[in-house]
Amino acid sequence: MQTNFLVIGSGISGLNFALQAAKKGKVVIVTKKKLVDSNTNFAQGGIAAVLDQTDNFEKHIEDTLKTGTYHNNKKAIEFMVKNSADAIYRLIDLGVKFQKENGKLSLTKEGGHSHRRIAFVGDYTGKEIERILVKRVKEHPNITILEDSFALKLLTQKSFLRGKTCVGAQIIRGNKIENIFADQTILSTGGVGQLFLHTTNPPIATGDGIAMASQIGCKIKDMEFIQFHPTALNENTFPKFLISETVRGEGAKLVNEKGERFMSNIHPLKDLAPRDIAAREIYKQQKTSQVFLDIRHKSREYLKKRFPQIYEKLKKLKIDMAKDLIPVTPAAHYECGGIEVDLSGRTNVKNLFAFGEVTCTGVHGANRLASNSLLEALVFSNQVAKNLTSTQAVKKIKIENPKLLKENSKETLLAKKLRQEIKNIMWRYSGIVRNRKKIKKEAIPKMIKIAKYLRKTKGTNQEIAETLNMAQVSLLILKAAYKRRKSIGCHFVEF
């Protein structure tokens, strides 16, 4: 198969790009499950943007820098923030119906923000955006969608003058391995949450894009900065159900078993402190007490209208958020680092671009500001689409395809066991609080052993390849965490 633009991943950034790129050439979208299966679908809160006269760019930029502990790329933040309103209005033009009051966009507040600046759709913003984008993509004649197709590796050519060039990807589709050749290849594969025992991310979030990019020599940056969301529902569910930060934005308080508001003396923003700070305080409290969200001062009618998805989920678990405390716990949520790209989404490998959570633009620094993730995905995918042009199609090259193993093979069954071991290792050694000595002496050797075994497997399939991706990306995180001696943002070191 040959195309102008190959998009790997079907979250907000990939679909948004595909719609615009389809005006310039043929687009193929490869997604390992269904088109709607992405982290975007799980995003409850909203999109941060300067939309109110009492707010301004400087305040949003400063909030982003402060939350990222000034480890950020300020130019990238400025670019994102100044294009934030345009990104919102483009979604409105596509058909996204953000919440309004008296004809104006309703804006809410989340952790780390000094102003109400988050546009939202109930408590299912990501789901609604994904629904609209999927509808538009399916309608477009220039877009081919390959669902249930797993990207195995990126294809490259090397020349003395041009260096390494990406020419497409090798995929597993059904019971066959196929090669797709493309003028430009775009990674929008999302995050890494499934590397951890407890996560808010769906099963697809196994770090595939970062693994594939690192294998062909892409620069990877800031992998140690894993954001743990403070308020995942503390129930025995996998993945963890997220209790959106907007619940605290609308007045919920964090309390312990004694009913004490323990965040009051920790940070000036109290319960709306940045996520890294709130997650660590909950972690400390959990040594002696369960932690809860308390929003019982709000009426049942208000809660059902404002948080319909959360209300119904809790109701099924026999938790009435109008009269009961909501048990919460931190869970792996977002990778602030990733493939290093410039403002135009370029990697250091020619004709390979990336945007969204798979990348490190420098926007988030050492900790992401709430509701900047969907914004970053939109702004940078818009920019890549604006700059890219379709060129003469690359020539097909001969690629040797690996042997495809059956799903019930002994190698596959062992890969499933190793996947669980990876999750346990990462939660224990690269969680909310880290010990560098243990990472070096215990975690890294264990992960190297897992990766070595998987690399030696004669043949592959999605289970084996995904598990190897998880091991490789885990090693990137562990090594980065070991190298970072001092605590900063999401990376907290105990001595």
Catalytic residue list:
275
List % helix, strand, coil for the chain (3-state, nearest 5). Answer: 35, 20, 40
**3-class secondary-structure state, position 282:** helix
CA 94 to chain centre: 23
Residues 6+ apart with CB under 8 A from 438: 429
Q: In angstroms, rounded to a whole number, what is the distance separating the alpha carbons of residues 245 and 115?
A: 14
Q: In angstroms, rounded to a whole number, what is the distance separating the alpha carbons of residues 350 and 425?
A: 35
- Please, what's the b/e burial string for 424-460 (b: 16 or more CB within 10 A of its CB; e: otherwise)? ebbbbbbbbebbbeebeeebbebbeebbebbeebeeb
| Residue 378 CB burial class (10 angstroms; 0-12, 13-18, ≥19) | buried
Query: Taking Cα atoms as reference points, which of 11, 6, 8, 7 lies closest to residue 37?
Result: 11
Q: In angstroms, rounded to a whole number, what is the distance separating the alpha carbons of residues 80 and 376?
A: 6
Query: Taking Cα atoms as reference points, which of 189, 223, 247 lies closest to residue 490?
Result: 223
**3-class secondary-structure state, position 84:** helix
Query: Taking Cα atoms as reference points, which of 409, 364, 25 lies closest to residue 222?
Result: 364
Tokens 């700070």: give the residue: 277
CA separation, residue 71 to residues 67, 99, 225, 373, 491 (Å):
9, 33, 11, 17, 12
Task: Kindly give the interhelix angle for 125-139 and 12-21, rounded to the nearest 10 degrees.
Answer: 30
CA–CA–CA angle 158, 161, 164 (5° rounding):
30
**3-class secondary-structure state, position 183:** strand
| E strand map for 284-358 | 291-294, 326-335, 338-340, 352-354
CA separation, residue 337 to residues 192, 201, 226, 460 (Å):
10, 16, 8, 28
141 upstream amide cis, omega within 30 of 0: no
Edge-to-edge strands of the sheet including 226-233? 226-233, 326-335, 291-294, 253-256
